[in-house]
Amino acid sequence: MQVSCSPLYKTRYDIRHKYGDIMMKFTPNSSWLAQRPYLIAALITFVLVLWMASGPSVAEQKSDIKAKIPSHDEKQVTAKVKVETRLGQHIHKTIELYGRTEPDRITTLKAEVRGKIIEVLAKRGSKVSKGQVIAKIALNDLPAQLTRSKALLNQREVEYQGALKLNQQGYQGKVHLAQSYAALESVHAEIKRLELDIANTIIKAPFAGVLNTRYVEVGDYVASGDDIAMIADLDPLIVRAHVTELQISQLSVGQVAQVSLLNGEQAQGTLRYIASVGNDATNTFKIEVAIDNKEAKLLAGLSSELAIDLDKMSAIKISPALLALDEQGNIGVKSVKESIVQFTPIEIIKSESDGIWLTGLGEQADIIVLGQGFVRAGDKVDAIFDKVDDQVNDKPAVSTHAVQD
């Protein structure tokens, strides 16, 4: 029985049969190759080495090409900024404090005897000198009491002298002598009291100053301890303020202080007192500045600002608008050095109406005065310089260059 085959199967059979002998001639002996597996391993290793040495893969080549092409975010745009060169000057570091003017001394005069006010000799707000009579209280019967006590004094002296002689002769004991002496001294004490009461009917100023308040008028009746008047000593006028623990170590008695009063008046004073013990609640120390006020033109009770100069140091004056903050919140200034933006922390040592003085920038600095808000520390910039500011003016000089984007 003859089996029919498909044309495709027949073709494969013919090829295999026809070329089988030829392939057998070039095929190595399978038993010989099986006995030498190291040749197969060496051949495979050789092929792999050739493949790896042939160069990077297509994926790696694409990755390298992509890395060489900068992205849009990585493109660096060199910003242009306006820069001014500021020169330092040696100025005093200043401590600024706030205080209040007060009298150097203030006292309230009180009545030391009772009686009626019979005379008032000083007006409210008037200047008074030391010992000047302010008011008088009626003497009443004080002079009569003094006269009687002086007469009694003579009697007590006679009695004491008689007791003393009798004691010396042995006719009287020491007890009677002591009683006579006590009676004599009692009269002496009464006379001194009456003389003091008579003197106290005249109210006098204990020191020179201003009669700030008067509490009585003619005809008023006062008892011992009642208020008569208040006198304030305004020369010198005192400004009291408080300093911190860090500031007190920089101060010493005798330093000059500039005083600015709230009403616009200016004065110069001297630091006369520094507290040795701090306030437990605020950890501050009280200081006093004395201001010459012989004419009493400066008033007590005004808010004031103190400026005390310390040692000199090199500082640069700028506008407060040029101050900046870094990422940590430190205050500083942006400057340019070799076309690179630098952020330098600073310390403000003095403030004026037209600018601030600060340290930390050295004797000279190229400060960015326009465009500082668009650059950060480390950025490369195209700096456009103005002329050197020889006068250290805080107001930027007018530039002839235009900042272009």
More reliable by pLDDT, 295 or 200? 200
CATH number of the structural domain spanning residue 332 = 2.40.420.20
Convert the pLDDT of each residue in 312-368 to its tens digit. 888 889 989 899 988 888 899 999 988 899 899 988 888 888 888 888 888 888 899
Please tell me the number of Cα atoms within 13 Å of 90 on its side-chain side: 3
Q: Where are the alpha helices (DSSP H) in 54-117?
A: 58-68
Confidence of residue 25 (pLDDT cuts 50, 70, 90): very low
CA distances from 208 to 48, 237, 276, 377 (A): 113, 13, 30, 64
Same domain for 186 and 134?
yes
Write down the pLDDT at residue 314: 85
Same domain for 218 and 150?
yes
Same domain for 32 and 83?
no
Confidence (pTM): 0.57
Same domain for 83 and 130?
no
Of the residues 230, 251, 284, the one at which a domain ends? 230
Q: Is the pLDDT of residue 76 over 90?
A: no
3-state SS, residue 370: strand
Same domain for 140 and 221?
yes
Are the C-beta atoms of residues 237 and 104 closer than 8 Å to each other?
yes
Assess if residue 16 is contained within a domain.
yes
Q: Is the pLDDT of residue 260 over 50?
A: yes
Assess if residue 252 is contained within a domain.
yes
Q: Is the pLDDT of residue 65 over 60?
A: no
CATH number of the structural domain spanning residue 207 = 2.40.50.100
Q: Is the pLDDT of residue 12 over 60?
A: no
Write down the pLDDT at residue 70: 52
Assess if residue 72 is contained within a domain.
no
Q: Is the pLDDT of residue 375 over 70?
A: yes
Write down the pLDDT at residue 132: 95
Same domain for 131 and 222?
yes
Q: Return left, alpha or beta for 386; rule: phi > 0 is left, psi -120 to 50 is alpha, else beta.
A: beta
Same domain for 117 and 225?
yes
Alpha-carbon dihedral sign for residues 273, 279, 282, 283: positive
Residue range 19-42: mean pLDDT, rounded: 57
Assess if residue 399 is contained within a domain.
no
- Tell me, letter by letter, the H, E, C secondary structure of 160-186: HHHHHHHHHHCCCCHHHHHHHHHHHHH
Assess if residue 74 is contained within a domain.
no
Assess if residue 132 is contained within a domain.
yes
Residue range 390-402: mean pLDDT, rounded: 38
Assess if residue 375 is contained within a domain.
yes
Q: Is the pLDDT of residue 53 over 70?
A: no
Q: Is the pLDDT of residue 228 over 80?
A: yes
Write down the pLDDT at residue 101: 93
Same domain for 263 and 342?
no
Q: Is 225 exposed, middle or buried (0-12, 13-18, 19+ CB in 10 A)?
A: exposed
Same domain for 202 and 122?
yes
Please count the structural domains in the chain.
4
3-state SS, residue 14: helix
Same domain for 132 and 159?
yes
Average pLDDT, the chain: 81
Assess if residue 169 is contained within a domain.
yes
User: By residue range, what is the domain housing residue 223?
Assistant: 109-230
Convert the pLDDT of each residue in 86-121 to its tens digit. 888 888 788 889 999 999 999 999 999 999 999 999
Q: Is the pLDDT of residue 395 over 50?
A: no
Write down the pLDDT at residue 305: 93
Mean pLDDT is lowest, of 162-166, 353-357, 383-387, for 383-387
